[in-house]
Structure 1
């Protein structure tokens, strides 16, 4: 359960690019098309004396960012959960339980992580291996900053800025096109079949709020003690009677309209009765890279199709 929620927090976003985001559908792996970049380059406390050519990414979201900005050719190894783009050089390395010795064996000149489990940052720093920590995004601005930071570090600042601009433009257009309603539609977002969800204070929840939706999970973590990821009860869900249900557990747990309808008491929920159960791609719903546009599109499409 911890691993599942961790992935979701890592965005859960959790949050790939179809339709209006087609520019990012095929992440590039080639060299920079912008002006020559001079080194050393400093981002935060990290300084690189030269362009990294052996990058190890232990974050699926960061892997997507690196390829989207054209730094894919510089990535020599990614963690075992980095499955997009399909040609990313997947390895046996773990982003959840990073092992400094195993990472060092790849002889990287830059390591990108999303967490500091096992104090791996200190271990790698001791080994003189540069580390960029791309923690789970809390806001879209966090995602944009990480993309720009990686652009600066890898010599792809221009491409990074273009990627961020496209993301902002695409999301703005999607949100602008959402039909406005006198009464907000309510929704339930499912992380797994044990009914863990997200509140509006999370990265994912904020995306739904942008589309004018009301989250039925918010009262379950009103004091914030559950970190924005409360576990709801079936009784609470049935009583809340959401207009829309979004499933972010279709890959991991094979959930669908049919499986939800089969749950005791769920067949009478408005979303289920009207067939407004949206099956999301787990990966897109849990990452905060460029494909977050796809999650926003799935949300806005669902709102547009819901009855007035």
Structure 2
């Protein structure tokens, strides 16, 4: 039994808890929240369903990477028994039993008998029928909101933390993210000459870019960058000639499934007149940390800031080396 749901994205250093342990260590060892959590807990999900968990969940299925990253970060990773085909962070998530991607295996999920299934609002268009099958089978399904800004992301982390019995850890993660965002905002005050930025999320011939009303627009607003596609709403396809006409100072490439992604932009016909090409300012940025609405999102903002204003925030290349180390 297969039903459609989800995508690769919903679109780092582990925060430390008060005992000085990393969040991943908390997940591996079983967090202190196991003893401190108070249940039952009731929360309203993204589709308006009031969901009550009578006890701390011992078996969890996560249906999108952002949910999985949050679960592991707060300390609930030990309870996650299955995830999507696209779950790749943290490393432990790669070892989870897989339930599918855009098409998920209803029968497998039912067979796992999880205490809660964390679905995602972004997948409702193609996955609602499958989710209803899970509900009809007696499973508890909580649809996580598709966060559209940092505040909603904080709320999502806090909500998942509460439902899994790790509220304190979730609050700590949110506090760390807020501190990082505030730090970036403060540094961005040094920007005196706004750079025009084009964000490329898919290659030619169908070049897509985020316009206004997207998370990337908020990123660029925070660092005082000018989105050359801000006059467009949502995700739009832009003709190469139009990109040349808008003459961005920086081009950010947000995909890595093509090894020569950056080189291809430099060699694109007609692009030799673009300032970003002349100034060697075509930068590849990790899509996962900028699109998954979870604990690494503040790092994604920092990566964007370094790509656009390396003179203020530091070289993007050095940051990538630090992360790899």
**TM-score (ref. length: structure 1):** 0.86
User: For residues 262-281 of structure 1, what are the structure 2 equivalents within 5 Å?
Assistant: 262-281=267-286
Structure with more strand by fraction? 2
3-state SS, counterpart of residue 166 of structure 1? helix
Q: 2:303 aligns with which of 298, 305, 308?
A: 298
User: For residues 1-308 of structure 1, what are the structure 2 equivalents within 5 Å?
Assistant: 7=8, 10-11=10-11, 17=12, 23=16, 27-28=24-25, 29=27, 30-34=29-33, 36-44=36-44, 45-88=50-93, 89-114=95-120, 115-116=123-124, 117-193=127-203, 194-219=206-231, 221=232, 224=233, 228-250=234-256, 252-305=257-310
Q: 1:92 to 1:75 in 2, by over 3 A?
A: closer
3-state SS, counterpart of residue 112 of structure 1? strand
Tell me how large the CA RMSD over aligned residues is: 2.3
CA distance in 1, matches of 2:41, 2:152: 20
Partner of 1:14: none
Query: Runs (4+) of structure 1 moved beyond 6 Å?
Result: none
Q: CA deviation at 1:43?
A: 0.9
Unaligned runs of 5+ in 2: 45-49, 313-325
Please tell me whether the aligned partners of residues 15 and 173 of structure 2 are also in contact (alpha carbons under 8 angstroms). no
Please tell me whether the aligned partners of residues 253 and 261 of structure 2 are also in contact (alpha carbons under 8 angstroms). yes
CA distance in 2, matches of 1:229, 1:298: 21
Q: CA deviation at 1:38?
A: 1.9
Deviating more after overlay: 165-174 vs 276-285? 276-285
3-state SS, counterpart of residue 251 of structure 2? strand
3-state SS, counterpart of residue 249 of structure 1? coil
Q: CA deviation at 1:99?
A: 3.1
3-state SS, counterpart of residue 97 of structure 2? coil
CA distance in 2, matches of 1:255, 1:145: 38
**TM-score (ref. length: structure 2):** 0.82
CA distance in 1, matches of 2:67, 2:218: 21
Question: Which protein has greater RCO, CA pairs closer than 8 Å, 6+ apart?
Answer: 1
Residue-pair matches, total: 289
Deviating more after overlay: 274-283 vs 56-65? 274-283
1:53-110 deviation per Cα after TM superposition (whole angstroms, max 9, x unaligned) = 1101111001000011011111111111001011113333124223322211222111
Structure with more helix by fraction? 2
CA distance in 2, matches of 1:67, 1:196: 31
3-state SS, counterpart of residue 105 of structure 1? helix
Q: 1:142 to 1:95 in 2, by over 3 A?
A: farther
Deviating more after overlay: 291-300 vs 159-168? 291-300
Unaligned runs of 5+ in 1: 12-16
Q: CA deviation at 1:132?
A: 1.4
3-state SS, counterpart of residue 98 of structure 1? strand
